Chains A and B, each alone.
Chain A
Amino acid sequence: MTKQHANWSPYDNNGGTCVAIAGSDYCVIAADTRMSTGYSILSRDYSKIHNCKADKAVLSSSGFQADVKALQKVLKSRHLVYQHQHNKQMSCPAMAQLLSNTLYFKRFFPYYAFNVLGGLDEEGKGCVFTYDAVGSYEKVGYSAQGSGSTLIMPFLDNQLKSPSPLLLPAQDAITPLSEPEAVDLVKTVFASATERDIYTGDKLEIMILKADGIRTEVMELRKTLSECWQHTLSIVLIRISTLGSLCYLELCLKFSCVVNRFSFSYL
Chain B
Amino acid sequence: MFRNQYDTDVTTWSPTGRLFQVEYAMEAVKQGSAAIGLRSRSHVVLACVNKAQSELSSHQKKIFKVDDHIGVAIAGLTADGRVLSRYMRSEAINHSFTYESPLPVGRLVVHLADKAQVCTQRSWKRPYGVGLLVGGLDESGAHLYYNCPSGNYFEYQAFAIGSRSQAAKTYLERRFESFGDSSREDLIKDAILAVRETLQGETLKSSLCTVSVLGVGEPFHFLDQETIQKVIDTFEKVAEDEEGEAGEGDAEAAAAPAEQGGGGAGDQDVAPMEM
Q: Do A and B come together as binding partners?
A: yes
Q: Which A residues fall within an 8 A CB radius of B?
A: 73-74, 76-77, 80-81, 84-85, 87
State whether B93 touches A85 (Cβ < 8 A). no
A80: contacting residue among B93, B269, B270, B271, CB under 8 A: B93
A77: contacting residue among B65, B93, B268, CB under 8 A: B93
Which of A76, A80, A81, A85 has the largest number of chain B CB atoms within 10 A? A80
Q: Say how far A125's CB is from chain B's closest CB, in angstroms.
A: 27
Known: A84-B65, A85-B268. A73 touches B97 (CB 8 A): yes
Q: Say how far B275's CB is from chain A's closest CB, in angstroms.
A: 15
Contacts of B54 in A (CB 8 A): none
| Residues of chain B at interface, number, CB under 8 A | 12
**Complex: how many Å from CA A87 to CA B96?**
20
How many residue pairs between the two chains, A and B, have CB atoms under 8 Å in the bound complex? 22
State whether A81 touches B270 (Cβ < 8 A). no
State whether B270 touches A77 (Cβ < 8 A). no
Residues of chain B from 253 to 275 with CB closer than 8 A to chain A in the complex: 268-271
**Complex: how many Å from CA A76 to CA B86?**
17
State whether A84 touches B97 (Cβ < 8 A). no
Q: Top 3 closest A-B pairs, CB basis?
A: A77-B93, A77-B97, A84-B89
State whether B269 touches A85 (Cβ < 8 A). yes
Contacts of A80 in B (CB 8 A): 89, 93, 96
State whether B271 touches A77 (Cβ < 8 A). no
Q: Say how far B91's CB is from chain A's closest CB, in angstroms.
A: 12
Which of A74, A76, A87 has the largest number of chain B CB atoms within 10 A? A87
Q: Closest chain B residue to A84 by CB distance?
A: B89
**Complex: how many Å from CA A172 to CA B211?**
49
Known: A73-B97, A77-B96, A77-B97. A87 touches B269 (CB 8 A): yes
State whether A87 touches B93 (Cβ < 8 A). no
A81: contacting residue among B93, B269, B271, CB under 8 A: B93
Q: Which B residues fall within an 8 A CB radius of A?
A: 65, 86, 89-90, 93-94, 96-97, 268-271
Q: Closest chain A residue to B271 by CB distance?
A: A87
Q: Say how far B86's CB is from chain A's closest CB, in angstroms.
A: 8
**Complex: how many Å from CA A87 to CA B97?**
21
22 A-B residue pairs with Cβ-Cβ distance under 8 Å, sorted by A, are A73-B97, A74-B97, A76-B97, A77-B93, A77-B94, A77-B96, A77-B97, A80-B89, A80-B93, A80-B96, A81-B89, A81-B90, A81-B93, A84-B65, A84-B86, A84-B89, A84-B269, A85-B268, A85-B269, A87-B269, A87-B270, A87-B271
Q: Say how far A192's CB is from chain B's closest CB, in angstroms.
A: 37
Q: Say how far B265's CB is from chain A's closest CB, in angstroms.
A: 15
**Complex: how many Å from CA A118 to CA B86?**
31
Q: Closest chain B residue to A79 by CB distance?
A: B93
Contacts of A76 in B (CB 8 A): 97
**Complex: how many Å from CA A87 to CA B65?**
10
Contacts of A77 in B (CB 8 A): 93-94, 96-97
Q: Say how far A130's CB is from chain B's closest CB, in angstroms.
A: 27
Contacts of B271 in A (CB 8 A): 87
Q: Say how far A77's CB is from chain B's closest CB, in angstroms.
A: 5
**Complex: how many Å from CA A160 to CA B268?**
44
**Complex: how many Å from CA A80 to CA B103?**
14
Contacts of B90 in A (CB 8 A): 81
Contacts of B94 in A (CB 8 A): 77
Contacts of B97 in A (CB 8 A): 73-74, 76-77
Which of A76, A80, A84, A87 has the largest number of chain B CB atoms within 10 A? A84
Q: Closest chain A residue to B96 by CB distance?
A: A77
Q: Say how far A203's CB is from chain B's closest CB, in angstroms.
A: 25
**Complex: how many Å from CA A85 to CA B93?**
13
Q: Say how far A72's CB is from chain B's closest CB, in angstroms.
A: 11
Q: Closest chain A residue to B270 by CB distance?
A: A87
Q: Say how far A234's CB is from chain B's closest CB, in angstroms.
A: 40
**Complex: how many Å from CA A80 to CA B269?**
13
Contacts of B89 in A (CB 8 A): 80-81, 84
**Complex: how many Å from CA A74 to CA B270?**
25
**Complex: how many Å from CA A72 to CA B173?**
47
**Complex: how many Å from CA A43 to CA B270?**
46
Contacts of B270 in A (CB 8 A): 87
**Complex: how many Å from CA A157 to CA B243?**
69
Q: Say how far B100's CB is from chain A's closest CB, in angstroms.
A: 8
Contacts of A73 in B (CB 8 A): 97
Q: Closest chain A residue to B100 by CB distance?
A: A73
Q: Closest chain B residue to A88 by CB distance?
A: B271
Q: Say how far B271's CB is from chain A's closest CB, in angstroms.
A: 7
**Complex: how many Å from CA A73 to CA B86?**
20
Q: Say how far A87's CB is from chain B's closest CB, in angstroms.
A: 7
Q: Say how far B221's CB is from chain A's closest CB, in angstroms.
A: 12
Contacts of A74 in B (CB 8 A): 97
Q: Say how far A74's CB is from chain B's closest CB, in angstroms.
A: 8
**Complex: how many Å from CA A40 to CA B90?**
40
